[in-house]
């Protein structure tokens, strides 16, 4: 193989109980659906070579390049609040780490066949979840939300059995790492203090070199999650499965399963077909992040100290999350309203708008985008409710003495015009299953510039197009 990838695999140098060496399972007839050329070049890869026959062999799992150390990571986790003592990469293989331009990134194949952690699953992905994750993760990146990214999508030429036979596909995912809260929980549950310490040292060296000890690591992860969840809230994103095994300690959005962006706003909005009790509803995401962080702190206790002073200090740090999150959330939503200064009444002003949006069935994205061009009123089933709020907003904005164009520009850069709407994604998947990838490529291009006006992709769904539930795909 002449294709060269600059691997430097630090995770594989950890003790063997952190993973199982495991190659991807070859597929019958791979075809390249999409290659993220810009991302390939950003991480120092030869995009032309990746798009060629040897690159396709690597991206499909049919060949393991020199320097790769394919493995499946082990972890545990709380899933919908219930403890599962062993999980792991059940349908993914980490090819290795690409070290370039001072950064280290995982290169992972998702849907690449069964592993020792598959739990009776087939280890494969069908085409729909691959295209969904490709589109949504790249949209999140363009929106400025920390996220794993999609390097490539490949069809396998094989059939995957779910509710019915479906075309198979593999996603190549790029991440700062795939280390999760559940990775720490796995070793904490086994009272493996040596492994917890080794993992903490690895995460500090890889993600938080400014942290001098595990206490500072905990503080850094709290900060990273504070920023991440506040950014989710600012774009109306619902992750759908905020289990501790889906929470990256690097502070990236990871594992796009039944995720969704809201159309009409409601704080209790849920899309995930498996979230029957609304545990991961839009407005509950900050609370769940705090709960997950508490599990992370608990997993660190064996190296933080298990005496009362250490427990109290860790508890105090977790209890700081609501205030940290509130400050970050306010900053994001102030920008969405075009406000540059702080005012004690801003939380009430924002909350009042959201309440009126919920009762008025107003589209989340179009309402905030419409504040700049005075079209927001049309999003409400009861426009007079918006009018009342707009008077208070205008008075608050006037106190800043900022010229109107500056405020409009601020809102235009804070409020996207287009998001990956559910009905659009479903239409893309349906077309792709039928062999037509043009809608996928069109949508991917549009989502690359989310703050540019694009009427075709900005439209909300018609009543007959509304997607009420999204699915995991496993």
DSSP letters, 428-440, are: HHHHHHTT--HHH
> From residue 131, how far is each of 92, 126, 127 by CA, in Å?
16, 9, 6
> From residue 304, how far is each of 94, 182, 225 by CA, in Å?
30, 18, 20
Of 86, 65, 87, nearest to 7 (Cα)?
65
Task: List alpha helices for 160-268, DSSP H.
Answer: 181-189, 193-207, 214-234
State phi, psi for 41 to the nearest 5 degrees: -70, -35
Which residues, in sequence order, are CB contacts of 334 under 8 Å at separation 6+? Answer: 340, 342, 346, 350
Distance, in Å, from the CA atom of 185 to the CA atom of 75, rounded to the nearest integer, reads 7
Torsion of CA 89, 90, 93, 99, to 10 degrees: -20
Burial class of residue 99 (count of CB atoms within 10 Å of its CB; 0-12, 13-18, 19+): middle
Residue 293 per-residue DSSP state? H
Distance, in Å, from the CA atom of 434 to the CA atom of 412, rounded to the nearest integer, reads 37
Residue 265 per-residue DSSP state? -
- Work out whether strand 71-73 and strand 149-161 pair parallel, antiparallel, or are unpaired: unpaired
The HSE-up count of residue 223 (CA atoms within 13 Å, CB side) is 9
Distance, in Å, from the CA atom of 208 to the CA atom of 243, rounded to the nearest integer, reads 23
Is residue 117 within 8 Å of residue 129, measured between CB atoms? no
Among 89, 227, 245, 363, the one annotated catalytic: 245
Torsion of CA 28, 115, 13, 300, to 10 degrees: 140
245 counts as catalytic: yes
Which residues, in sequence order, are CB contacts of 184 under 8 Å at separation 6+? Answer: 196, 199, 200, 249, 296, 299, 300
Can you say how many angstroms the Cα of residue 132 is from the centroid of all Cα atoms in its chain?
12
- Catalytic residue IDs: 245
């Amino acid at each position: 193989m002449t294709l060269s990838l600059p691997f430097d695999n630090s995770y594989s140098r950890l003790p063997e109980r952190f993973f199982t060496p495991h190659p991807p399972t070859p597929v019958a007839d791979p075809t390249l659906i999409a290659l993220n050329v810009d991302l390939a070049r950003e991480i120092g890869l030869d995009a032309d070579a990746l798009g060629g026959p040897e690159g396709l062999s690597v991206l499909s799992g049919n060949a393991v390049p020199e320097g790769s150390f394919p493995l499946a990571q082990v972890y545990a986790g709380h899933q919908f609040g219930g403890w599962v003592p062993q999980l792991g990469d059940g349908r993914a293989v980490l090819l290795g780490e690409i070290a370039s331009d001072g950064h280290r990134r995982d290169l992972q194949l998702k849907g690449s066949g069964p592993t020792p952690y598959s739990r009776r699953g087939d280890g494969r992905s069908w085409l729909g979840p691959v295209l969904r994750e490709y589109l949504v993760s790249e949209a999140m990146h363009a929106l400025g939300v920390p996220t794993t990214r999609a390097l490539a999508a490949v069809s396998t030429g094989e059939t995957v059995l779910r509710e019915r036979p479906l075309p198979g596909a593999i996603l190549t995912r790029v991440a700062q790492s795939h280390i999760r809260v559940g990775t720490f929980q796995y070793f904490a549950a086994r009272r493996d203090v040596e492994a917890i310490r080794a993992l903490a040292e690895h995460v500090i060296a890889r993600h938080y070199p400014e942290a001098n000890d595990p206490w500072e690591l905990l503080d850094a992860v709290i900060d990273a999650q504070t920023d991440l969840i506040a950014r989710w809230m600012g774009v109306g994103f619902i992750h759908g499965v905020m289990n501790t095994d889906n929470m990256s300690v690097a502070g990236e959005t990871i594992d796009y399963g039944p995720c969704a962006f809201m159309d009409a706003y409601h704080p209790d909005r849920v899309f995930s077909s498996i979230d029957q009790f609304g545990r991961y509803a839009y407005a509950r995401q900050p609370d769940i992040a705090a709960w997950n962080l508490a599990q992370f702190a608990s997993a660190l206790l064996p190296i933080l100290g298990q005496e009362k002073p250490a427990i109290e200090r860790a508890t105090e740090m977790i209890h700081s999350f609501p205030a940290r999150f509130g400050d970050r959330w306010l900053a994001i939503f102030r920008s969405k309203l075009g406000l540059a200064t702080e005012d004690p009444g801003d939380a009430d002003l924002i909350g009042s708008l959201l309440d009126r949006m919920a009762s008025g069935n107003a589209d989340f994205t179009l309402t905030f985008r419409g504040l700049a061009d005075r079209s927001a009123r049309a999003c409400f089933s009861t426009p007079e409710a918006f009018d009342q709020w707009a008077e208070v907003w205008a008075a608050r904005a006037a106190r800043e003495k900022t010229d109107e164009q500056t405020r409009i520009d601020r809102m235009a850069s804070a409020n996207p015009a287009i998001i990956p709407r559910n009905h659009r994604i479903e239409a893309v998947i349906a077309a792709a299953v039928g062999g037509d990838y043009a809608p996928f490529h069109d949508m991917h291009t549009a989502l690359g510039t989310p703050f540019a006006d694009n009427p075709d992709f900005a439209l909300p769904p018609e009543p007959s197009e509304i997607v009420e539930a999204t699915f995991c795909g496993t």
